[in-house]
Amino acid sequence: MGRRLRRPRLTLASEILSLQLVIILGALVVGVAASLWVAARHLDDEYGQRALSIAKSVSAVPAVTSALDGSGPKNAVQPLAERVRTSSGATFIVVMDAAGERLSHPNPALLGQRVDDFGAAMDGRAWIGHDNGSLGPSVRAKAPVFGGSGQVIGVVSVGFREDLVQAALTSELPAVGITLGSALALAALGSFLLARRLKRKTFGLEPDEIGRVLEQREAILHGIREGTVAADLRGRITLVNDEARDLLGLDATCVGRPVDDALPGGRIRDMLSEGSAGIDEIVVNGDRVLVANCMPVAARGGVIGYVVTLRDRTEIEGALRELDSVRGMSDALRAQAHEFSNHLHTLAGLIEMGRTDEALRLIDAERTSQQELAAGVARQVNHPILGALLLSKSVVAAERGIDFQLSADTDVGGDLGDARSLVTIAGNLVDNAFDAVAALPHNAVRSVQLSMRIEANLLAIDVRDSGAGIDPALGAAIFDEGVTSKSANGRQRGLGLSLVRHAVQRRGGVIDVVNDGGALFRVRLPLPAAPAAAEAEVAAAELSVPVHPSR
């Protein structure tokens, strides 16, 4: 069996052009038919009025009146009617007396014969209409002839054959055809130009190709593991894929909304609303650490918007921080091992010298120092995770030559809420304080003090250091991602305090910083046991965010 040949498909431009031409042609056909119908009606009315005017004129001629009332010769009517008929172009002019006898007619053989149909003329009224008489179908008019006393003494009938009317209508067809043909040509040209413009707008793609491109675009956008958010120059979101919705916590209604309404305040919103380009910027959104890239979207030689791609780096950043902590612990343990080795050598020397009492006193002093540290943490911090964190921080502080102390009023225990957020808050604040005092000269006082206590229904955390304090010019911006007063040293900085702020906000707390002989960070968190009362306490203890100058 032979293979069936498929009919070639029309292009989009051809389909549009053909469809428009069919529509325009159909409209023109209907328009021509309507125009001809209107013109025919108009010509009928025009010829009817002409016939009536001629009939009224003839009925007012004295010779016609005298012939009909018997005061004049009847044979004078025929020549008069024929002269008028010839000059006016009428098909016939028939004058009849009250009895219906014809006094004039184009066909002399019909003179003297009677007519029964007078129409409304015998009632004294003029009449216009169509009739099929002895000369064929015609448009005719009848006018009454009044005598001296006002009575109807006869009727004048004037008519034009319908073929004359059709001939007049046909004579107008060329003008109508030229007008309609010109309109069709202009419409075809306009349709062709529109099809070409549409072809350019669609980049030469056909409808099925546009559909496939859209399907591929949606599949790619929602299939990649990077978040993608695009906005136009008016600051409205035009595109969001599934990964971006998950990373930024957006819903499906965000497309079409202004960036300032759909996204929370932060670096990502600034990128899209201001169009500030950025390459691999680390931003914090809630508890997520993201890598953001902002690039302009160019089309047809101009910028039409901006697109931000997002990669989730939360786990990597957490692993890096844990690695830093492990590296710090490793360095501290290495230092302790070195210190213990020195102590062991000292003890061995004292024992070899026979000074056992001094060796025992040295051992007892070292054991007492470690026990006092562990006992102090266990006594003041009745929370295993926080206790382990503070012990590890004390080891790091000892290695870095920092005097790390728990304040005398530190006393926490019981249910403090999410332990992970507490580790984020306390750990980052202590690390930030360590970095601040580590930058001081070696002969300066390097001290960090941590206070954790319960105040009414709030967990109060204060971290004080003896560093240079916070630059007052930074103000509340110190908690924004990427803002730091420390040297980067090749690493991304400015994330710790931003993570702290987000963790505090998630727990419904407040945080601020003041300069008081160094930096003092103050955090107030509601306790889970009494959330309503804790919220009132937070509102009452609303902390001032601006940074005060050092005192």
Q: What percent of the chain has pLDDT over 90?
A: 4
Select the more confidently predicted residue: 266 or 311: 311
Mean pLDDT in residue range 186-199: 76
Q: What is the pLDDT of residues 510-529, one digit of tens each?
A: 998 888 888 899 999 998 86
- Cα–Cα distance between 327 and 335 in angstroms, integer? 12
Q: Are 473 and 547 in contact (CB under 8 A)?
A: no
- Cα–Cα distance between 500 and 463 in angstroms, integer? 13
Q: Give pLDDT, residue 460.
A: 92
The residue with tokens 């930030």 is: 432
Q: Are 118 and 100 in contact (CB under 8 A)?
A: yes
| Range of lowest pLDDT (254-268, 397-411, 478-492, 534-548) | 534-548
Q: What is the pLDDT of residues 361-386, one digit of tens each?
A: 777 666 555 556 666 777 888 888 88
The tokens for 337 are 């091992």
Q: Give pLDDT, residue 489.
A: 46
Say if residue 545's pLDDT is above 60: no
| Range of lowest pLDDT (52-56, 57-61, 526-530) | 526-530
Select the more confidently predicted residue: 74 or 137: 74
Instruction: Kindly write down the DSSP assignment for every residue of 125-148, as one continuous string.
Output: --EEEEEEETTEEEEEEEEEEE-T
> What is the Cβ-side half-sphere exposure of residue 375, based on CA atoms within 13 angstroms?
6
Please, is 465 exposed, middle or buried when counting C-beta atoms within 10 Å of its C-beta (0-12, 13-18, 19+)?
buried
Select the more confidently predicted residue: 395 or 382: 382
Instruction: Tell me how far apart the 2 most distant CA atoms of the chain are, in Å.
Output: 182
Helix and strand totals (H; E) in the chain = 14, 16
Residues listed for the chain: 551
Strands across the sheet with 510-515, in order? 403-406, 447-455, 458-465, 519-526, 510-515
How does residue 12 score in pLDDT terms, banded at 50, 70 and 90? low
Select the more confidently predicted residue: 318 or 113: 113
Containing 494, the helix (H) or strand (E) segment is none
State the amino acid at position 506 in one-letter form: R
- Residue 417, classed as helix, strand or coil, is coil
Mean pLDDT in residue range 490-496: 55
In sequence order, which residues have a C-beta less than 8 Å from that of residue 391 and are 6 or more positions away?
373, 374, 377
- Radius of gyration over alpha carbons of the chain, in Å? 53
Q: How many CB atoms lie within 10 A of CB 394?
A: 21
Which of 90-99, 109-118, 157-166, 283-292 has the highest average model confidence (pLDDT)?
90-99
Q: What percent of the chain has pLDDT over 70?
A: 73
Q: Give pLDDT, residue 551.
A: 35
Please, is 192 exposed, middle or buried when counting C-beta atoms within 10 Å of its C-beta (0-12, 13-18, 19+)?
middle
Taking each helix axis as running N to C, give the angle between helix 77-88 and helix 12-59, from 0 to 180 degrees, rounded to the nearest 10: 160
Please, is 200 exposed, middle or buried when counting C-beta atoms within 10 Å of its C-beta (0-12, 13-18, 19+)?
exposed
End-to-end CA distance of the chain: 100
Say if residue 497's pLDDT is above 90: no
Q: What is the DSSP letter of 253?
A: G
Q: Which of 550, 447, 429 is nearest to 496 (CA)?
A: 429
Instruction: Report the sign of the C-alpha dihedral through residues 52, 53, 56, 62, in that order.
Output: negative
| Range of lowest pLDDT (26-35, 367-376, 409-418) | 367-376
Instruction: Kindly write down the DSSP assignment for every residue of 507-542, as one continuous string.
Output: TT-EEEEEESSSEEEEEEEE-TT-HHHHHHHHHHTP
